């Protein structure tokens, strides 16, 4: 019913081996994305300075906030596709993909317009340093204008992965990353376009990836359930309702977490451009082990989704355990290296001594949250795979409000612990997400709470 080729068999093969093999392209994709994000920061830091890093950090947080609507729909689409594939419902996969494409396109255009209209008030609300303000505006206008490419870039990867194909998304992301890096050096390094050059490089790279992905799908339409006949490529009301029902909580969760980062960024910005730059560099490095570990969780989510659709609950438990073990190894390995060589890690991005002085403090703060990080992603992936996105939303909001905002406000502002208080407060926030996730796995009958898909989408 579903042709194999590049797709992994997530329903029958050895769990640990299959998870690693399926996750390797996820990890490589994450590495490529981190590489071009890292190059963005390095190039901006070397050719523009601390103000440029601050601008990209502030603008990047706004990009993340604005794209959460599309990310929510993409996650919902992956849930439906994975479960329908597991249940062997090919026609429902087609309806889910078709509807998702329309929802993503409409949302991306709307969010891009909204961001451009309210950009300056949002940057003011974030207390963006004066030295970085116009550079942040330049960066964000271009990113918002190209949001349609960012949205479809993420959507197409989600569809591929939901169907059990993690190899082709890696190839397309690698193409985007290489394009972005080369254009970064050209636009920002050679042409001296500043943060605008960084934004153009990102958007063009994503546009190239989307174009190649679409050409690939057109050449393999039947294999990837994209062989639409006349009148079939449209919005299906039942599919739209399911994707909105699943996606809306994910949007609210993602928005809450991103807004919490914006709040932290606001507190950080008030301490000046040096602390703001240190936070920007620290976040880039912090994302390296986290993103690689989260790629394991993303692979696990697709595996769990297909096995839930097939009713293979014991395999779901094995996926959870395997995911936590692999994530733990990744987190511990990176954290040991970063704690041993903090200034060297920061020095990749900037040579300003004032920024380098914050390196060790940043990594100590992040190490405090590491035990929670190794479990949070896996448990949240289970909740998402089950389709219990309302629970995921509540946990995400608690993480944002109680975790990040309240803890950073308490330690950094109320107790006046300065930058270190803000760093530690941000790190502690993950426990507010990890603990409820663990309780859900051990105490809730998630087998019975799984998404009801036996009726399909009519």
Between CA 271 and CA 102 the distance in angstroms is 43
pLDDT, tens only, 195-241: 999 999 999 999 999 999 999 988 988 888 888 888 888 999 999 99
pLDDT at 339: 94
Residue with more model confidence, 82 or 356 = 356
Q: What is the mean pLDDT of residues 400-423?
A: 88
What sign for the dihedral angle of Cα 103, 104, 105, 110? positive
Residue 3 forms part of a structural domain: no
Q: Is the per-residue pLDDT at 8 higher than 70? A: no
Instruction: Select from 404, 99, 413 the least CA-distant residue to 241.
Output: 99
Between CA 56 and CA 276 the distance in angstroms is 11
Residue 6 forms part of a structural domain: no
Residue 119 forms part of a structural domain: yes
Q: Is the per-residue pLDDT at 314 higher than 50? A: yes
Backbone angles phi, psi at 3, to 5 degrees: -70, 150
Cα dihedral 413, 419, 424, 425 in deg (nearest 10): 30
Cα separation values, 117 from 80, 111, 130, 144, Å: 34, 10, 20, 10
Q: Is the per-residue pLDDT at 454 higher than 50? A: no
pLDDT at 37: 73
Residue 285 forms part of a structural domain: yes
pLDDT at 457: 44
pLDDT, tens only, 27-52: 787 777 777 777 877 888 888 888 88
pTM, two decimal places? 0.72
Cα dihedral 8, 12, 14, 20 in deg (nearest 10): 20
Residue 8 forms part of a structural domain: no
Residue 402 forms part of a structural domain: yes
Q: Is the per-residue pLDDT at 269 higher than 60? A: yes
Inter-residue contact 151 to 104 (CB < 8 Å): yes
Q: What percent of the chain has pLDDT over 70?
A: 96
Residue 4 forms part of a structural domain: no
pLDDT, tens only, 136-163: 999 999 999 999 998 998 899 888 888 8
Residue 450 forms part of a structural domain: no
Q: What percent of the chain has pLDDT over 90?
A: 32
272 Rama class: left (phi>0) / alpha (psi -120 to 50) / beta: left
Contacts of residue 4, defined as CB under 8 A and 6 or more positions apart, other chains included, come to: none
Residue with more model confidence, 299 or 2 = 299
**Average pLDDT, rounded, for the chain:** 85
Identify the domain containing residue 193 by its residue range: 15-443
Domain count, the chain: 1
pLDDT, tens only, 354-381: 999 999 999 999 999 988 988 988 998 8
Q: What is the mean pLDDT of residues 382-406?
A: 84
């Amino acid at each position: 019913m579903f042709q194999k080729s590049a797709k992994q068999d997530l329903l029958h093969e050895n769990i640990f081996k299959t998870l690693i093999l399926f996750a390797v392209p996820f990890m490589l994709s994450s590495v490529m994305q981190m590489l071009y994000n890292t190059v963005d920061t390095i190039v901006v830091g070397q050719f523009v300075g601390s103000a440029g890093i601050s601008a990209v950090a502030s603008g990047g947080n706004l990009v993340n906030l604005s794209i959460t609507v599309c990310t929510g729909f993409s996650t919902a689409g992956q849930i439906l596709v994975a479960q329908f594939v597991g249940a062997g419902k090919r026609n429902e996969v087609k309806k889910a993909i078709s509807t998702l494409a329309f929802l993503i396109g409409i949302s991306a255009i709307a969010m891009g317009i909204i961001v451009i209209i309210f950009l300056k008030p949002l940057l003011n609300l974030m207390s963006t340093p004066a030295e970085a303000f116009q550079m942040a505006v330049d960066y964000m206008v271009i990113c918002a204008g190209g949001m349609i490419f960012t949205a479809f870039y993420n959507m197409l990867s989600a569809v591929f992965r939901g169907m059990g194909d993690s190899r082709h998304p890696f190839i397309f992301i690698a193409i985007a990353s290489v394009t972005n890096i080369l254009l970064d050096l050209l636009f920002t390094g050679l042409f001296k376009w500043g943060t605008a050059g960084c934004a153009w490089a990102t958007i063009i790279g994503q546009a190239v990836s989307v174009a190649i992905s679409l050409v690939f799908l057109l050449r393999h339409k039947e294999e990837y359930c994209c062989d639409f006949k006349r009148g079939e490529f449209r919005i299906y009301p039942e599919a739209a309702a399911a994707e909105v029902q699943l996606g809306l909580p994910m949007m609210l969760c993602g928005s809450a977490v991103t807004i919490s980062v914006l709040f932290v960024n606001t507190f950080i910005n008030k301490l000046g451009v040096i602390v703001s730059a240190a936070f920007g560099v620290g976040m880039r490095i912090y994302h390296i082990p986290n993103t690689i570990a989260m790629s394991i969780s993303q692979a696990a989510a697709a595996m769990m989704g297909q096995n839930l659709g097939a009713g293979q609950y014991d395999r779901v438990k094995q996926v959870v355990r395997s995911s936590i073990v692999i994530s733990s190894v990744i987190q511990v390995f990176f954290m040991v290296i970063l704690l041993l060589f903090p200034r060297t890690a920061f020095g990749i991005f900037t040579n300003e001594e004032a920024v380098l002085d914050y390196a060790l403090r940043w990594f100590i703060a992040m190490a405090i949250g590491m035990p929670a990080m190794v479990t949070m992603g896996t448990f949240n992936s289970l909740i998402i795979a089950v389709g219990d996105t309302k629970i995921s939303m509540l946990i995400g909001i608690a993480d944002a409000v109680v975790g990040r905002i309240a803890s950073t406000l308490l330690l950094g502002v109320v107790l006046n612990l300065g930058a270190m208080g803000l760093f530690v407060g941000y790190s502690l926030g993950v426990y507010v997400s990890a603990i409820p996730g663990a309780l859900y796995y051990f105490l809730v009958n998630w087998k019975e709470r799984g998404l009801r898909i036996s009726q399909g989408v009519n």
